[in-house]
A and B are shown apart, each in its own frame.
Chain A
């Protein structure tokens, strides 16, 4: 049985952003995963966490530590994504001014996830929320 961890993410709470990724990183270190792969995984989980914080009302990150790969499913309640292809473009962002002032919302989150994962799926319903799934082989 692969180890599974679940994290709640609170929309709008930037103070807690990164906490889930920090715990995931500690677990991967404990499991002796190659540090290079840990880096890829935490870039993806951090960006996924941040997307929920910056855009959604609430979300859940399910992390699964399989012996051969890591997967994460991030499900949020939020506005959803109107045009997923557009959201995948580097530089495209719908983030608010305040979020941008903090140095987020540069339109690099999803491209960073794409770059660091082996599989990426996004499903979204406008007005309801988004589910993001990714897989990274160690």
Chain B
């Protein structure tokens, strides 16, 4: 499934990084600890987190993640938006909490 298809299916907000919307999603990773994502997330996964600062994009880019979903309606910081545009990493948002959005993502990917 492409990031753009997921955005449509789950009604996600797209804050920035639209150039990356055609990337294929291989899975998901839920964590708010950056070194945990650095050490254990895999290429093309979607990262679900509440962290909104720009280091999130630095990590997503280094790990070649498909996109980042910010939970609970949390807004990205200004430099996070800019960095996401530069790196082409879609920065997405939802009002749902991590548990709920992770469940829906899991169901979509395993449908």
Contact = CB atoms under 8 A, between A and B. Distances in A.
Interface of A: 14-15, 17-19, 21-22, 25, 35, 39, 42-43, 46-47, 50, 102-104, 106, 108-109, 111-112, 115
Contacts of A42: 62-63
B33 A108 contact: yes
Contacts of B51: 102-103
A108 B54 contact: no
Contact of B55 (A102, A109, A112): A102
Interface residues of B, number: 20
Given A35-B43, A42-B63, A50-B35, 19 more contacts: A14-B53, A15-B79, A18-B58, A18-B59, A19-B58, A21-B58, A42-B62, A43-B39, A46-B62, A47-B38, A102-B51, A103-B33, A103-B49, A103-B55, A104-B34, A104-B35, A106-B36, A111-B39, A112-B39
B35 A25 contact: no
Interface string B54-88: 11001101111000000000000001000000000
A51 to B, nearest CB: 10
A104 B59 CA distance: 12
Nearest to A109: B35
State the majority secondary structure of interface residues on A. helix
B22 interface: no
Given A15-B54, A43-B39, A112-B39, A106 B59 contact: no
Contact of A17 (B32, B58, B61, B63): B58
20 contacts: A14-B55, A15-B54, A18-B61, A18-B62, A21-B58, A22-B61, A43-B62, A47-B35, A102-B34, A102-B51, A102-B53, A104-B34, A104-B55, A106-B34, A106-B36, A108-B33, A108-B35, A109-B35, A112-B39, A115-B39
A112 B38 CA distance: 8
Contacts of B38: 43, 46-47, 108, 112
A108 B39 contact: yes
Nearest to A18: B58
A17 B59 CA distance: 10
